[in-house]
Structure 1
């Protein structure tokens, strides 16, 4: 089988989802660092991989994929016999339905406010821009409501979809990691089941490897 190539940037939350999945599945891959500041994601070469000019993109032989959640789904299914089982076993239709449900929740309920907060509290300060406090306040309120639902769910289940770590939990990791370095951490810490879940998923060895890629070379 052709080697997997991931074109992305280590600090990109979407890239991090794909890297975490590859490490969980113990799949060898080649990482191609795309320099966003130089506009490489808008180059002709990269646009052949993703016509929308956004990272990450996956390349494996003649297969070209983009959109991080679609990529992780492919990896989890293609390498189902390797590493961590990130999807229920075939035939577990009820569990699979719950995985699909909570994947949708992450995409449509958790991702929008959490990404807005990452942008305001992490990215803007990093680039010397001014944080919009009104946007922060609005999205903290939205995220708090989502985490209330998570608290109730995690009181019944170790992980969001079921009793095993799945793509659902993995997809949360990048934004959770960023927000735990900000004032928004209190929203997670004040909910005991959410707090325990965050501690669990952020301590996974595969995620530590993703974070290691962000460290400057010595």
Structure 2
């Protein structure tokens, strides 16, 4: 099996959680250090590794946080720009998920679970229907969100939201 590449610093809480999960299942992995001091984490190619959250965050922020929690008006230009970027990313996911049940193969992994928070929040905005055009993505995320552990966390997300 090809080792999983984990980008970041092991002292980072998120990276440490990923590494602990990989250790739990005795998976091979390689830590690829991202130099925070030089700002590598804010530049390409590192940003290109996780386009999903970087595109979803402005949509969720402008479509949910600003109008609901801050009482402001959504930045429609920001939303529209990021929806177009999201559609490009969804095309890649759709292609992959047309061949596999989950992102990393035919087994659930942290790669799948890590996507549900943003998708869940996106669905709370008027823009959640953007995923309707991608049947494999929609089915994949429905399967992830149907898991008991994810359902519990979604309840917690609403409790603290």
Q: Does 2:64 match 1:119?
A: no
Matching of residues 145-160 of structure 1 within 5 Å: 145-160=88-103
Output one character per residue of 1:141-197: Cα deviation in whole Å (capped at 9) or x when no partner: 000000011111100110111111111111111101001122322221221111101
The structure 1 segments of at least 4 consecutive aligned residues displaced by more than 3 Å after TM superposition are: 64-67, 77-80, 104-107, 214-217
Candidates 134, 154, 161, aligned match of 2:104? 161
Alpha-carbon distance between aligned partners in 1 of 2:149 and 2:113, rounded to the nearest angstrom = 10
Alpha-carbon distance between aligned partners in 2 of 1:115 and 1:73, rounded to the nearest angstrom = 21
Unaligned 5+ runs, structure 1: 1-63, 81-88, 97-103
Q: How many residues align?
A: 135
Alpha-carbon distance between aligned partners in 2 of 1:112 and 1:136, rounded to the nearest angstrom = 12
Q: What is the TM-score when the length of structure 1 is the normalising length?
A: 0.55
Cα–Cα, structure 1 residues 113 and 202, in superposed 2: closer, same or farther, change >3 Å? Answer: same
Cα–Cα, structure 1 residues 107 and 128, in superposed 2: closer, same or farther, change >3 Å? Answer: farther
Output one character per residue of 1:19-72: Cα deviation in whole Å (capped at 9) or x when no partner: xxxxxxxxxxxxxxxxxxxxxxxxxxxxxxxxxxxxxxxxxxxxx95443x143
Structure showing greater radius of gyration is 1
Structure 1 residue 111 displacement after superposition: 1.1
Q: Does 2:157 match 1:209?
A: no
Q: What residue is the counterpart of 1:200 in the other structure?
A: 143
Q: What is the TM-score when the length of structure 2 is the normalising length?
A: 0.73
Alpha-carbon distance between aligned partners in 2 of 1:216 and 1:185, rounded to the nearest angstrom = 21
Asked whether the equivalents of residues 173 and 202 of structure 1 are also in contact (C-alpha less than 8 Å), the reply is: yes
Candidates 72, 81, 93, aligned match of 1:129? 72
Q: What residue is the counterpart of 1:77 in the other structure?
A: 22
Asked whether the equivalents of residues 63 and 127 of structure 2 are also in contact (C-alpha less than 8 Å), the reply is: no
Q: Which has the higher contact order (CA 8 A, sep 6+)?
A: 1
Structure 1 residue 77 displacement after superposition: 3.2
